[in-house]
């Protein structure tokens, strides 16, 4: 993902909502310098912590996939995940949700780690609440979502955004 193109994308999303960069920072609850660095391509979206990306996506009222301009594979085969709602307020539910997603695809930890290109012990830490899921980088979140063939929002079990008039 090209930093300059993503920076332009972030600026466009912000301007479409009539926000200044300071207003976006306030609405997202992040430091204004974070928005400044992101919009100028000085910081990569892939280096963002997942929790920060979630805050910015919420403030802009877009999905995580839309924020990072990732082509989502959708949620066509994950209806069972609806039973577990994970949010920043409930990070303890995330390991169970993640294991369920992995098992639904018939993957053991080693196969998942290999498919995602991550260390199996790192993955074990994530699944056993030894690593905070919302502190991982967007780069790692994208690797996990790609390995599971799901959207970023499904990875963190974020409810879908309601349709807006301009979507039609």
What is the CATH architecture of 3-67? Answer: Orthogonal Bundle (1.10)
* Structure-token match 């910081």, residue found: 43
> For residue 90, what pLDDT is reported?
58
Q: What integer pLDDT is reported at residue 1 of this predicted model?
A: 56
> What count of Cα atoms within 13 Å lies in the side-chain half-sphere of residue 158?
24
Distance of CA 79 to the CA centre of its chain: 19
The rounded distance, in Å, linking the Cα atoms of 103 and 147 is 12
% of the chain residues with pLDDT over 90: 37
> Quick one: CATH architecture of 79-155?
Orthogonal Bundle (1.10)
**Whole-number Å distance between alpha carbons of 66 and 87:** 18
Residues of the chain with CATH 1.10.260.40: 3-67, 79-155
pLDDT for the residue 143: 92
For residue 105, give Cα distances in angstroms to 58, 145, 150.
Answer: 29, 12, 11
For the four alpha carbons of 82, 76, 153 and 22, in that order, the dihedral sign comes to: negative
* Residue range 83-140, pLDDT digits in tens: 233 344 455 677 888 888 899 999 999 999 999 999 999 999 888 878 777 778 888 8
- DSSP label at residue 162: P
State pLDDT tens for residues 14-30: 999 999 999 999 999 99
Q: Identify the residue with better confidence: 162 or 106.
A: 106
């Amino acid at each position: 993902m090209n930093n300059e193109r993503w920076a332009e994308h972030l600026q466009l999303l912000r301007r479409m909502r009539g926000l200044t960069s300071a207003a976006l920072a306030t609405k997202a609850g992040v430091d204004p310098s974070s928005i400044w660095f992101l919009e100028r391509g000085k910081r990569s979206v892939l280096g963002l912590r997942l929790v920060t990306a979630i805050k910015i996506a919420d403030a802009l009222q877009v999905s995580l996939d839309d924020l990072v301009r990732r082509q989502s594979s959708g949620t066509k085969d994950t209806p069972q995940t609806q039973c577990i709602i994970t949010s920043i307020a409930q990070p303890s539910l995330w390991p169970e949700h993640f294991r369920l997603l992995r098992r639904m695809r018939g993957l053991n930890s080693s196969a998942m780690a290999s498919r995602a290109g991550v260390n199996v012990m790192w993955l074990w830490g994530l699944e056993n609440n030894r690593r905070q899921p919302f502190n991982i980088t967007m780069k790692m979140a994208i690797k996990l979502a790609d390995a599971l063939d799901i959207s970023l929002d499904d990875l963190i079990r974020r409810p879908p955004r309601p349709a807006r008039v301009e979507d039609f």
